[in-house]
């Protein structure tokens, strides 16, 4: 009983902290290269959760476009973007966070969608319904999902 109460209190505290520290998409600060130095949540990314976001068609679906040798157990890697092998060695965390959040800052012509942006679109829709968006858009990934993906990408050092 006591333990449950403590857990509940812990969750409540975590949720409050999380909420307070999340940087909203429109408030993200980048440098001239699009790097985002500050964590979007203040909570360290979870690489295992990031791996799931990478491969899940309903989440990031990163391998729809990118080949990743470390994920070769997952079927059907795309050929549209560059291989992500070694990205953790080529880029630092701030650069990776910036590319995942809004790749067009670093690469203006990139086909890559911006996973943490909610404004500046032409005819944004209501998810995949084909109808107009109703109300403010949600980013494609949550702030913590971006942090998780960045944590996973940092493990790709070879």
Partner 1 sequence: MRKTSLFGGAAVAAVAIALAGATSADIGDDEELIVNGEIEMIIETAAPEHLQDRLSTIYSGWVFRSDETQAMQADDFDNPGMIFVDQGLEAFETVMGTEGQSCASCHENAESLSEVRSTYPKWDEERGLVQTVEMQIIECQTERMGAEPYGYDSQDMRNMTALISSVGRGIPVNVAIDGPAQETWEQGREIYYTRFGQLELSCANCHEDNYGNLIRADHLSQGQINGFPTYRLRNAGLVSIHNRFRGCIRDTRGETFSVGSPEFVALELYVASRGNGLTVEGPSVRN
Binding site for partner 1 (CB under 8 A): 57-61, 63-65, 75-80, 104, 111, 113-114, 121-133, 137-138, 140-141
In this complex, which beta carbon is closest to partner 1, that of residue 26 or of residue 138?
138
Q: Which two tokens stand for residue 72?
A: 């070769």
Q: Minimum CB separation from partner 1 for residue 56, in Å?
A: 8
> Could you give the count of Cα atoms lying within 13 Å of 13 in the half-sphere of its Cβ?
6
What is the C-alpha to C-alpha distance for residues 88 and 121, in angstroms, rounded to an integer?
A: 30
113 HSE (CA, 13 A, CB side)? 15
The Cα–Cα gap between 126 and 123 comes to 10
Distance separating alpha carbons of residues 21 and 121, to the nearest angstrom: 26
Which one, 44 or 125, has the nearer CB to partner 1?
A: 125
Distance CA 33, CA 36 (A): 9
Question: Between residues 4 and 128, which has the closer beta carbon with respect to partner 1?
Answer: 128
């Amino acid at each position: 009983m006591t333990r449950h109460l403590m857990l509940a209190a812990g969750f409540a505290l975590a949720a409050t902290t999380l909420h307070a520290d999340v940087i909203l998409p429109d408030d993200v600060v980048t440098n001239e290269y699009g790097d985002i130095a500050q964590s979007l949540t203040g909570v360290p990314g979870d690489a295992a959760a990031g791996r799931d976001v990478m491969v899940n068609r309903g989440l990031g679906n990163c391998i729809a476009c990118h080949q990743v040798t470390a994920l070769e157990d997952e079927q059907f890697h795309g050929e549209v973007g560059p291989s992500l092998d070694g990205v953790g060695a080529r880029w630092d965390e701030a650069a990776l966070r910036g590319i995942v959040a809004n790749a067009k800052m670093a690469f203006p012509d990139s086909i890559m969608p911006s996973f943490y942006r909610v404004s500046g679109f032409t005819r944004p829709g209501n998810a995949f319904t084909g109808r107009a968006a109703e109300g403010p858009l949600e980013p494609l990934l949550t702030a913590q999902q971006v942090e998780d993906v960045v944590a996973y990408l940092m493990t790709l050092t070879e």
